[in-house]
Chain A
Amino acid sequence: SQQGEEDPQALSIQEGENATMNCSYKTSINNLQWYRQNSGRGLVHLILIRSNEREKHSGRLRVTLDTSKKSSSLLITASRAADTASYFCATDEGSYIPTFGRGTSLIVHP
Chain B
Amino acid sequence: DTAVSQTPKYLVTQMGNDKSIKCEQNLGHDTMYWYKQDSKKFLKIMFSYNNKELIINETVPNRFSPKSPDKAHLNLHINSLELGDSAVYFCASSPVGTSGAYNEQFFGPGTRLTVL
Contact = CB atoms under 8 A, between A and B. Distances in A.
A43 B43 CA distance: 10
A49 to B, nearest CB: 12
B109 A96 contact: no
Contact of B43 (A30, A45, A100): A100
Contacts of B48: 96-97
Given A42-B109, A95-B100, A96-B56, A102 B45 contact: no
A101 to B, nearest CB: 8
Interface in A49-98: 86, 88, 90, 92, 94-98
Helix, strand, loop or mixed for chain B's interface? strand
A80 to B, nearest CB: 22
Contacts of A35: 105, 107
A103 B101 contact: no
Contacts, number: 70
Interface residues of B, number: 30
Given A96-B96, A98-B33, A102-B42, A48 B110 contact: no
Contacts of B50: 96
Nearest to B91: A42
Contact of A42 (B45, B97, B107): B107
Contacts of B108: 42
B80 to A, nearest CB: 27
B31 interface: yes
Which 9 A-B residue pairs are closest in the complex by CB-CB distance? Answer: A42-B107, A30-B101, A100-B43, A43-B107, A45-B104, A42-B109, A102-B42, A103-B41, A96-B102
Interface of B: 4, 31, 33, 35, 40-45, 48, 50, 55-56, 90, 92, 96-97, 99-110
Interface of A: 30-31, 33, 35, 37, 40-45, 48, 86, 88, 90, 92, 94-100, 102-103, 105
